[in-house]
Amino acid sequence: MKGSWFFSAALAGLLLACQTTVQHRPVVSVANTSGKPANQPEESAGEKLRRNAEKALESAREAAVAGDEDGFLACESTLVQQVGEAIAEAPQDPELPQAIAELWQELDDLTATLYAEEETPEQEESAQVPEEVLPAKPEQVEQAAREAQELTFDLPVKVTPEVASLIDFYTGPYRERLIAALERAARWLPLIRSYLSQMQLPQDLAYLPLVESAFHTHARSRAKATGLWQFMAGTARLYQLRCDGLVDERLDPQRATQAALAHLSDLYATFGNWELALAAYNSGAGRVEKAIKRAKGNTDFWSIRRFLPRETRNYVPAFWAALIVVKQPQRFGLPTFPEQTWCRDMVPVEGALDLEVLAEKGAWDLETLRQLNPALVRGITPPAGVYQVAVPCGQGEQARTVIASIPPSERIKRLFHTVRPGDTIAAIARRYRVSPETIMAANNITNPRALRVGREMVIPKAGWSAATVAENREKPRSRAQSIRNPLRYRVRPGDTLYSIAKRHGLTVEAIRAKNNLSGTVIRPGDVLYLAP
């Protein structure tokens, strides 16, 4: 989901609608108490928002240019709050949706500036939609249309020259990645479908992560869109997902799925058209509204397509093509994978608890706990409030007993520090008797001068060096490390049996037989023997 700042504009549009299938919090209109003479024009909510937001927006511009991520995120939080206040005060102001859309659009552009960098292999893997698509020949379109007519969809799938061309892309150059993505999808499709049923949304939306993240739960784009559903941090927070230095719920498939489907539901209620809703999910409602205006009010996706960003032009056709392909795997020679159920028990934990300590005290595998709690960025629950920790299915009661037995002095191996005005890395290091390099390593800080007031920092215990922190922090292994011993392989996040087999010149069946696997389920940290 490249466009992150569109929900507020969509929400404003929803509040203007007479009827909607999406429930929102009640909004109270605020009476005019300004005391201005009746003959003096009142400042509209849209104008007021533009005026109030300018200072934070200017600070965001400076932070983006300087590469100050913490400063930018602080400005982002301020702007989100201002938008929420504007909607609550004047939900029916006709200028408000446009003002919000413009604001979000500029923030999108600034986000791209902040995170402008060369694309890494992981980011390339998460890019599922080609920017350039050559239309297919008429005979290819006719054949694809005939095949699609034999299938059942609950979305308005169309076959166009672009869709037919993308079918060839997914079954040709992208084939190997598609197979790996479908293997990952088998784990998450049941979960997504269950929430689609609860929200009475089309079941075919379950495959949208195919074009978003290839079902990589830790996928991260160049613009820092993250997770299965590729949420930007700002949009995630608008849907009550926590995103900070300790917890990033975009990485939790269950929480992110709930938020993404609510998001899609809102967009559909706004545009009344699934193709436009999907385009808005990808690029932002502001860009879609702008394209509709340029098309003189035309709301047909295929008519406004040329006015949309290049990636979004092909986003909907790519999703239609992907649906056509995955619904007939045998026709395209694609393997099928048994679907799995993701089960975990949730246990409330008050205050900070290190997953490493929980694993030791409860005799659980640490990698399993990390996999069940992907939102815990540092592997520690927040120091304030109650957090729901996940443990293996059916072991909730055992976990409650174990947690209750852990003395407060043994619950964490690290301390926390909330950054206050005037704090510096050096001063914090002196206070806790560790080196500045150790603190920077533990918190992934590259710019020691870009500390954001209010940020929760992890402070390793005294005596740890930066090297010790690096050794104890979970990192993906490089390819060279992972294949140093060709007979033994440790599974990394995103791996599937199919991708491992292809990388080592083996077959899935051979790996399963060598490791006595009854299915295809593997987890990060598992060790596989790969001798042919």
CATH number of the domain that residue 280 is part of = 1.10.530.10
Closest CA to 459 of 445, 474, 447: 445
Which tops the pLDDT comparison, 245 or 355?
355
- Residue partners of 421: CB distance under 8 A and separation at least 6: 453
pLDDT of residue 19: 30
pLDDT, greater one: 463 or 14: 463
Element holding 181 (H helix, E strand): helix 175-198
Distance (Å, whole) CA 492 – CA 505: 18
Q: Is residue 334 part of a domain?
A: no
pLDDT at site 269: 94
CB under 8 Å, gap of 24 or more: what pairs does 286-295 form?
Answer: 286/3, 286/5, 286/6, 286/9, 286/100, 286/101, 286/102, 286/104, 286/105, 287/3, 287/6, 287/105, 287/312, 289/9, 289/97, 289/98, 289/101, 290/101, 290/105
Q: Which range in 75-79, 151-155, 172-176, 420-424 is most confidently predicted, on average pLDDT?
A: 151-155
The verdict on 509 and 462 lying in the same domain is no
For residue range 511-520, list pLDDT tens digits in order.
877 776 766 7
Q: How confident is the model at residue 462 (pLDDT cuts 50, 70, 90)?
A: low
pTM of the model: 0.65
Res 36: pLDDT = 46
**Are residues 256 and 143 part of one domain?**
yes
Higher-pLDDT residue of 124, 319: 319
Last residue of a domain, one of 451, 472, 493: 472
Q: In terms of domains, do 102 and 125 share one?
A: no
Identify the pLDDT of residue 504: 78
> Is the pLDDT reported for residue 322 higher than 80?
yes
Please report which helix (H) or strand (E) contains residue 73, including its range. helix 69-89
- The per-residue DSSP string of 348-407 comes to EEES--BHHHHHHHHT--HHHHHHH-TTBTTSB--SSSEEEEEEETT-HHHHHHHHHHS-
- Could you report the per-residue pLDDT of 357-400, keeping only the tens digit for each? 999 999 999 999 999 999 998 889 988 889 999 999 999 999 99
- Same domain? For 178 and 204 the reply is yes
pLDDT value at position 480? 34
What's the CA gap between 321 and 174, in Å, rounded? Answer: 12
Specify whether 322 is located in the same domain as 248: yes
pLDDT-based confidence at residue 475 (cuts at 50, 70, 90) = very low
Among the residue ranges 223-232, 319-328, 493-502, the one predicted with the least confidence is 493-502
pLDDT band at 463 (very low <50, low <70, confident <90, very high): low
Please tell me the predicted confidence (pLDDT) of residue 387.
96
pLDDT band at residue 12 under the 50/70/90 scheme: very low
Is the domain of 270 the same as that of 362? no
For residues 264 and 412, membership in a common domain is answered with no
Residue 366 Cα to chain centre, angstroms: 24
Query: Do 154 and 293 reside in the same domain of the chain?
Result: yes
Tens digits of residue pLDDT in 89-130: 877 777 777 777 677 667 766 766 665 543 333 444 444 677
Answer yes or no: is pLDDT of 337 > 80.
yes
Answer yes or no: do 185 and 219 share one domain: yes
Q: What is the CATH number of the domain that holds 493?
A: 3.10.350.10
Q: Are 130 and 169 in contact (CB under 8 A)?
A: yes
Higher pLDDT, 257 or 80: 257
pLDDT tens-digit map of 20-68: 333 333 333 333 444 444 455 677 887 888 888 888 888 888 887 777 7
Give yes or no for residue 411 having a pLDDT over 60: yes
C-alpha closest to that of 105 among 56, 171, 57: 57
Domain boundary pick from 472, 495, 520 = 472
Q: Is residue 335 part of a domain?
A: no
Q: Based on the domain organization, do 362 and 256 belong to the same domain? A: no
Q: Which of 66, 90, 114 is the last residue of a domain?
A: 114
pLDDT of residue 455: 79
Angstrom distance (rounded) from CA 109 to CA 473: 33
Please tell me whether residues 155 and 257 are part of one structural domain: yes
pLDDT in tens, 195-244: 999 999 999 999 999 999 999 999 988 778 999 999 998 889 989 999 88
Residue of 212, 249, 275, 289 marked active site:
212
Residue 134 has pLDDT above 50, yes or no: yes
- Report the alpha-carbon distance of residue 89 to residue 52 in Å, rounded: 14
- CA 314 from chain centre, in angstroms, equals 20
Q: Looking at residue 314, what is its pLDDT?
A: 93
Identify the bridge partners of residue 416 per DSSP, sorted by sequence position: 458
In the chain, the number of structural domains is: 4
> In which band, very low, low, confident or very high, does the pLDDT at 482 lie, cut at 50, 70 and 90?
very low
- 139 catalytic residue (yes or no): no
- In this structure, of 27-41, 119-133, 250-264, 440-454, the range with the lowest mean pLDDT score is 27-41
Q: Confidence band (pLDDT; 50, 70, 90) for 495? A: confident
- 61 lies in some domain: yes
pLDDT at 144: 94
Task: State yes or no: pLDDT of 267 exceeds 70.
Answer: yes
Quick one: 68 and 165 in the same domain?
no
Beta bridge partners of 456: 418
Domain coverage including residue 504:
479-529
Sole residue written with tokens 């990808």: 282
Judge whether 336 lies within some domain: no
- State yes or no: pLDDT of 191 exceeds 50: yes
* pLDDT at residue 494 in the model: 67
Residue 102 lies in a domain: yes
Give the pLDDT band of residue 532 (cuts 50, 70, 90).
low
pLDDT of 420 reads 84
- Judge whether 338 lies within some domain: no
Is residue 104 a part of any domain in this protein? yes
Residue 4, pLDDT above cutoff 50: no
**Domain for residue 417, yes or no?**
yes
Is 274 a residue whose pLDDT tops 90?
A: yes
